[in-house]
Structure formats: C-alpha cells, structure tokens
Structure 1
C-alpha cells in the first residue's frame, strides 16, 4: 500500500480527530508533563503557606494523619481525570471534556470555574512567595532605599509584601520555569535534613500523631466530640486541598506533550501521588521541629514561626529553609502561569472568553503571549485587596484567594467526572483507562469533592460568622463567592453566551489528513 500523502504523527492525528490543528510546539516528554503538575502542586508552596490552618484546627494529629487520608481521596479525583485526559488529550482539559460528555452548557460552567481557580493559583502562590521572601529579607535586616524590610509594623509589612508580589508577577510573566523531579526531591531532602539536625530540641512521636489543638475559638476550644469531627477538622482541610491543586496542568499541556494519551494521563495521577509522599515527610519534619508550641500558637500556626523558634540559636538554618521555600514557590507560580495561560488560550480558541480573537493568538515562538499577560494582570487585580489587612497585618484577601481557587478548581474537576460516570459503558476511553473500576473511583471522587466544598465554605473563626456578635469582614471566609461566580456565569449564559458559545470549535478539516492514496482503481466519475 502506498504511503499516505501527508504523514501525520499519532499525537497530531488524534488532535485532528478532536478538531484542532497542531499549533503549540509538541516538544515535551511525559516526564516534563509530569514535572509541570508536580511543580504547580509544590509542597514548598501549599504546605508552607497553609500549614497554619491545620495546626489551628486540629493540631499536629490533624496534620500527620489528615494529610495522607485526604491525599488518598484526592488521588481518586486524579485517577478519574487521568482517564479523561487520555480520552481527550487537548489543552482545554476539564471544560473540553465537559463539552464532549455533556454539551455546551456544562462546558461553559466548567471552563469558568477552571479559569477562576487557575488564576487564583497564580495569585495565591505569588503572594505566598512574597510573604516568604519578605520574611527572608526581614531576617537579614535588609534595607533598600526607603523600604526597611527589618520593620515589624503590620501596615509596612503588608506594603512590602505587595510590592514584592508585583515584582514576582513580572518575573512570572517574563519566564516560565520548570523544575524536574530530582531537583524537587533534593530540595525536600535538604529541608528535612535541616529540620532534623539543626534544632536543639524535637517533639516526640506521641505529640506528632496524637496531640490535638483547637485554636479556632469555636466550641470553647474543645478537642473531642462531634463538633471536632464535623466542624473543626474540616476547617483544616485547606492545607491538603490547596496544596493538591493544579494537577490539571498535565491535561492543559497535552498538546505540547509527546504520546499525550498516555504521558499526560500519567502526569495527572503521578503528580498527586508523589506530592502526597513528599508533602507528608515535609509536614512531619515541621511537627517534630515544633518544640516551642507557644511561639507557634502566638504566630497563628505559621510555619515560619517553627523555623525561627526551633532554630533561634542557628538562624542560618531558618534562613536556608525560607530561601529554599521561596525559590520553590517561584517555580510553582511560574508553572501555574503556564497552565492558566494554556487554559485561557484554549477557552479563547473555542470562543468562551471575552476578546477570544486576541487571546487565541500565538507569538512567533508559538507561545500564547496575550493569554499569559491577561492571566498576570487579572491575578494582580484580584490580589489588590490583600494590601489591606487586619490590625495584626494579616492579608485576609490572600487566604480568601486560596480558598476560592481551591473550591473553583475542584468544582471544575468533578463536573466532567460526574458526566463520565453518567455515560457509563458508552464512554470511549483512551490508552489509559480505569476499566471496570471507574464506577467506584468516580463515585468516591464525587462524594469527596462535595465534602471538600462544604469544608472550605464554612467560617474558620467565630469573628467570621456574620450573625454573631463581634463579626469582622476581615475574618469572613470568602469561599462562597465561588457560588456567586457560578450565578453570574449562569445569568451570562442565559442572557447571551448560549447564543455564541457552542462548545469546542473545530480549527481543522480532518478528512484530508487521513485519506490515503489508493494503490489502483478506476477514476471516479464526474460529479461522484
């Protein structure tokens, strides 16, 4: 048989079947695909910046036991998404899967929840990096012009953190940094080693795995009973859930990955699995090093206070850990911008974003430049409220962003999983499949996400309960704003979007790509 007139690689062929021309450069290996999700999850970002939630709402036992248990359920979500990534290896990810499995309406909502979550990751990780960078500069007593990083004035600290955040966003926009697994493993080992060998004192294993705290001031500080299981501990879920986000990046970069149906699919679940292991060891190192619980409690459970109190006589160790964590968060945020910009580009390609005609363009290097800039600008805008904190200088808007992005992402993750479960055996899997196990894996993932949405939407402190005396706006949990976003997007859909957004838009006529030149045969008759 003669060779095809136009040879199309397996990945390009599959992409054409899904309706798209190969536009992004397909140069990534399956390992690089895994690395971007692993970098975005980044235990150096989530574990460090949100440790205070689990410490305050449950204490050491909540961290040591809660992390692996929650990660096991997160893995169910990741496995479900891996199967969908293999079946539909496009940059659109969740919103594209929803369109294929449920139609344009499901796709519209999924795309916007996904976009809100991914932009929130860029903003949240960037601001977290600014907080840690400011702490490093504070330890060194650095002064640059009129900016004195050695100050402890709450208002000045917030100002410095915001300036650093702005500079970090500029850095994210200028470059995309990808860390490979060996680099991250080495960094994790260095941090664990410092926390083991540098502090003069350590906690015992009984403290790490059985000690419980309730510093939320809910229920009189109770550490036992139904209120702890159904309210206090769920408040601490944000540590695990915020850390374990962004692994859809492997799906969003599928069009840049070779053998995407297998490599991108494996990148989704493997990034969650290995992050769960690395994160657990890092958190255990935190807990064993937390010998001065009073200092940690006074700082609201901040991981920074663990380093500075445990290594008060060896501040070089605290500085080293903070520097490494800050650099890791810079890597995480830059990779997050890559994922978010690919989603913005893909959703624009399918005409789901305002100004889609601009954001679907690529520059000469085949990078969605306008989408990159758009994500950075929106990340800056939504973080501006963090410039104003409470009386002790806590950037309340930062914590709101982390919770909002987590809820938004998991809603986007679970919608196509539900639609896949609804399709049952009619679903056509790719080369990576759950087989007959999809029913219990998908069902477990859906129930877990429902629990997570509840846990992340409840008030985290008494001052954040609107109907109680002493309510403060700065203490409010703003996660339910995600539901308001859903209402707004729904109204937009009914009024206008459904008239123009029909789901994925084909950019290629696949027929010529797959026709082979016949070996012999009569010429077709005219008009046939």
Structure 2
C-alpha cells in the first residue's frame, strides 16, 4: 500500500485547498460543501455508522443461541473480508473523491446504467437501515426511562431519534463532525469501560469456551450453526464507506479518507470484538440462552454487573450509540441522494440537488432521509411483520451495493484501469480486488440462505425475496423510464478509451 505524504504546514493547507478544488473540477464538478471535516471527524463518522455497540447488542443473543460462544470468531473472519473491501474502496475514493460514495464510484468505473442501479440498491438499503436503527433504539429508551414497552412507545422513541439526528445534520458539516466525534468518544469509552468491568467482575468462563459450540449445530456438523451466527459479524462491519460519502467535505480526501476507512475497520473491529468477548465470558449459563430460557442475555448480564443505577448509565451510552449511528446513516443517505440528483439521475432532481448556502447541506435530500425511514417505522403500527419484511433487505442491500462497486473495480482493472489517487495497492490491487469480490459474494449467499425449514417458504426466503424485489423494481424503472438518459455527467472514464 502506498500513501504519498503531502507537505505540512499552513502553506500546505492552502495548497491542499486549491488542489482539492482543482481535482474536483477536473472530475467535472464544483462543490458547495465546506471542507470542515477533519481526519478524526471523518473516521468518527465511519465508526459511529459501524457502531460496535449497536451491532453487538442487537445480535449477541441470536448469535450465542445459534452457535454458542465460538461465534465470536466470525467477527475476526468478517473483519478481514471487509478490510479487503475497504482497501478497494480506498483506491477508488482516492481517485474519485466525490460526494455520494458508491454511486459516483460505480459511475466512473463502469457507466451510467450500472451506477444508477448501484445507487438505487444502496439508497433503498440506507433508508431502510436508518429506520431499523431508529426502531431498534426504542426498547432501550423504554428501559432507560422506565416506560412500558409497546409498539407505540417504540415508534415514538424511533421518531424522536430521527428528529434529533435530522436537527444535528441540518447544522452542517461542522456540526456533523463534532457530533460524530462525541458519539465516537462516548461509544469507545463506554465499550472499553463496560467490557473491562465485565472481565474484572463478571467473568464466569475461561478463554477455552471460545472454542466451544455448546452443543449447537445439527447432524454432527457445526458449520451451519457457525455460518448462521456469522450474521453478527456481517451486520457489524459496514459503515466505513460513509467516510467516502462525504468526500467533498474533507480536506485532502485522497489521502485522508482511505486512512479513515482503514481506521474504522481496525478500531471498530477491536471494539466490537472486545465487547462481544466480555459479554460471552460474563454469561453465566450458555444453556439457558441456547434453550430460549434467557432471550436477552445482554440485559441479564448488564443488570447483574451494574445494578439499577449502573445499568441506566450503560443504557445512556447505548442510546448515544444508536443516535450517532442514525445520524451518520442519515448523512450518508442525504449525500447519496444529492449526488444522484446532481447528475439528474432522479425524478425531481432539481429539488433534491438544491443546496442551502446558509446550512451548507442539501436540505431536501436530508428530508428524504428522514421522511422515508419515518414511514417505515410507522408501518409497524399496521403490522410488525410488514416492518420486518422491509427491514430484512437492509444489510443485504448494503452488501449488494458494496459488491457492485467491487465488481466494477475488478472489471475496470482488467480492462486497463490503473488507480491514480494518493492511495494505491500497487501490484496487490488485483488479488485484493478479486478476494474482496469472493468474500462479498459468500457473505451475500450466507445472508440469503434459507434456515427455517418449518416456516412458510416466503418467510424462509424473505431476505432473498426482498433483495430480488428491490433489484427487480430498480431494473423495471431503469428500463422503462431510462432515468440515466438525462445525465450528461462523466461516466466510465476509469477505463482507458482505447480498451472500451
């Protein structure tokens, strides 16, 4: 990996500002965003989107019940796989530091049609993920304030989280960066404090249990159970791409964003693994979790270890994590919608590409990133199953969007593209790109694999069906309405002209 080190000092900062504008203009754009986001703020944005606390606390009980304490190894396996993807993204964003992330990357690597479909899949996935994170915060709000848990309470709490996140995002890049740093600091300190305390005071097992499946699996095989529990890792390791979604708000993005992406994987992965490890060793009875007698081992462990008052503090940290995660997701979604509309690739593009000179954000794109998730949350009032069916696409859609870019990068590389940003993998680029694609396809298959033979077929294939529905709808819109045909922005220029 090669990071070319820029000159330091005030003069260097001026040169970076001029070179950033010049690079953006050479790519066909002039940006209205303010480059107020530091390296640490950019990293914090990716970290809070990845959110180890949200990811682990949400799926810990499921993973432990499915594969026992050995499920913790899935975090390391998925972490390595997603690092490969982050390295590919780092090369692309270094050469094409454009707002919106996967959409403009796919556009420059392949072309308008591929970019439109990539953006569609990723946009739907982001909007649904915002809803799932906001909805997931509801039970913790109820526990913190002693509210009676109900669908209505959860909906109200979710809508409140969305409104607070929107208010912060309307503060502009600087407010977003400050909020991301506060969220990162709170979450990492909380994760280390909670994990450390559990290891010191509530450790019931030795490290040997990490090689124990605790009797899970079927037919004498543990692999199926481990792959199913691996969803905790798959759900955990995304968010690093948000560092690139705000590329036009970061000084010297060609160097800083690839670094922030790698930092997100390293620090986020460590924090997630540490939290998961401490929880595993603190669970007193694996059998109770596996049998279903203890359906919420996280709450059981925290209430035992910290008591009523300490649990409230931990819950407050968890809520900050949920809010920070929703905030980062909203920022990523609004930049994607703005980038899409700026290239005239959406209906009402003129509206969604509007930029507020006072707020320094695209306000109407941000409204979409608030209203659509709110509607998904409100759908649970009609039917919780309806919300589950909508949300089931969330993680699969993120991974599909990722792999559409990874595939586009591999295709462009094989057709002659040589990454030309400040960050490159050199001769390792092709094998890393190929391995990232293999990993990503395997993760998608694992997510979509049917694992409930006793359930109705449509429930057993719910994730796959939701993915096919979103992709199919996107293809129908693309073929019939031809939204890409209105765009004259550059596309497919990563591949040298002579090889096209």
When the two structures are superposed, what TM-score results if normalisation uses the length of structure 2? 0.86
Deviations 1:240-267 (A, max 9, x none): 1222122211111110000011111222
* Equivalent pair of 1:26/1:257 in contact (CA under 8 Å): yes
Q: Secondary structure at the match of 1:327?
A: helix
Q: Distance in 2 between matches of 1:357 and 1:435?
A: 40
* Equivalent pair of 2:448/2:464 in contact (CA under 8 Å): yes
Q: Distance in 2 between matches of 1:115 and 1:300?
A: 36
Corresponding residue of 1:513: none
Pair 1:258 & 2:251 matched: yes
Deviations 1:466-497 (A, max 9, x none): 18xxxxx5x76345312211111111111112
Corresponding residue of 1:103: 111
Corresponding residue of 1:326: 319
Higher Cα radius of gyration: 1
Pair 1:491 & 2:476 matched: yes
Q: Distance in 2 between matches of 1:396 and 1:276?
A: 32
| Range moving further from structure 2, 274-283 or 93-102 | 93-102
Shift of 1:324: 1.4
Deviations 1:377-419 (A, max 9, x none): 1111223343467xxxxx5556555541211111111222222
* Equivalent pair of 1:31/1:263 in contact (CA under 8 Å): no
Q: Secondary structure at the match of 1:377?
A: helix
Shift of 1:112: 0.7
Corresponding residue of 1:145: none
Shift of 1:465: 4.4
Q: Distance in 2 between matches of 1:174 and 1:258?
A: 24
Q: Distance in 2 between matches of 1:287 and 1:401?
A: 31
Q: Distance in 1 between matches of 2:227 and 2:308?
A: 34
Matches within 5 A, 1:400-439: 400=389, 403-424=392-413, 425-439=416-430
Q: Distance in 2 between matches of 1:388 and 1:135?
A: 24
Matches within 5 A, 1:379-458: 379-387=373-381, 400=389, 403-424=392-413, 425-458=416-449
Pair 1:222 & 2:218 matched: yes
Q: Distance in 2 between matches of 1:486 and 1:459?
A: 19
Pair 1:206 & 2:195 matched: no
Q: Distance in 1 between matches of 2:388 and 2:107?
A: 32
Taking a change above 3 Å as real, the CA distance of residues 294 and 232 of structure 1, as seen in their structure-2 partners, is closer
* Equivalent pair of 1:119/1:378 in contact (CA under 8 Å): yes
Taking a change above 3 Å as real, the CA distance of residues 271 and 378 of structure 1, as seen in their structure-2 partners, is same
Q: Distance in 2 between matches of 1:464 and 1:172?
A: 37
TM-align CA RMSD: 2.6
Shift of 1:198: 4.8
* Equivalent pair of 1:349/1:505 in contact (CA under 8 Å): no
Q: Distance in 2 between matches of 1:491 and 1:433?
A: 37
Q: How many equivalent residue pairs? A: 463
Taking a change above 3 Å as real, the CA distance of residues 282 and 388 of structure 1, as seen in their structure-2 partners, is farther
Q: Which structure's residues are more often helix, by fraction?
A: 2
Corresponding residue of 2:334: 341
Taking a change above 3 Å as real, the CA distance of residues 172 and 498 of structure 1, as seen in their structure-2 partners, is closer
Give 5+ residue unaligned stretches, structure 1: 1-6, 143-148, 151-155, 215-220, 390-394, 468-472, 507-528
